[in-house]
Amino acid sequence: MNRLNTHFNNLKNKNEKALILYITAGDPNINTTFEIMKALAENGADCIELGIPFSDPMADGPVIQRASTRALKNDVNVDLIFSIVKRFREHFQTPMVLMGYFNTILRYGMEAFVDTFKKAGGDGLIIADLPYEEGEDFENICKTRDVSLIYLISPEMGSERTRNILSVTDGFVYCISHYGTTGGESKTENLDGIIDSIKSMTDLPVAVGFGISTLQQARNAGRIADGIIIGSWLIKELEKTNDKPKVASQFTKTLKQAIS
């Protein structure tokens, strides 16, 4: 059981909702990324999802694409990201998840990637373009290292495929709130029913992401799910300011209070 499992169990025992916040590693630079991570951890984030910048991010909308472009221009690479995870872990126990695309992992080497991430202090991985049907080898690598592999679950009522994906997902369930890319307006109908259907098939906590961009949407999602995941909205706020850690601090406090 890693930090992710332990922390979500503690939240459940306290009847609290999880606030999971996404930022792109290296945007606007690696040192500022670390300061933003500190601000999130110090002000109530329950998990930090750190995006690995990628040139062709098929699951990401324009906001996160802009963030990836800025990071890639700074020559951010996987080893730099691992170093910032390690630096963060020296000061904080907040669960840390990397989100990225499978080509990055294949190029690095699957076992080497997971081993290095685990040694740095990482807890979970979200691979947006890894289909369940092709994931068995990587699942086994993650499982033997106690790194949670978190699959994305589409917003549909229960199916046999959903049940199969849930059986190999660990840490928490990432339920996307609408079909499409990150940051798009959430238009999913019957999200209550979708969450209920997922919960009937797993004991894992269920977090909702993709498209939460207002306090009311955050409250609504937090009412029915065990946690919420926010990325594009936070990055938009960070784009507006030079004092990014300060804005990240206030953003985190406000969201945590809204879902409490």
**Separation between Cα atoms, residue 16 and residue 9, nearest integer Å:** 10
Q: Is 16 exposed, middle or buried (0-12, 13-18, 19+ CB in 10 A)?
A: middle
Catalytic site includes residue 60: yes
Catalytic residue among 49, 123, 170, 226: 49
Catalytic residue among 27, 46, 60, 226: 60
Q: Are 243 and 35 in contact (CB under 8 A)?
A: no
The first and second tokens of residue 256, run together, are: 């945590």
Count of residues in the chain: 260
Residue pointed to by tokens 């992992």: 105
* DSSP code string of 144-206: HTT-EE--EE-SSS--HHHHHHHHH--S-EEEESSSSSTTSPP--S-HHHHHHHHHTT-SS-E
- Catalytic (active-site) positions: 49, 60
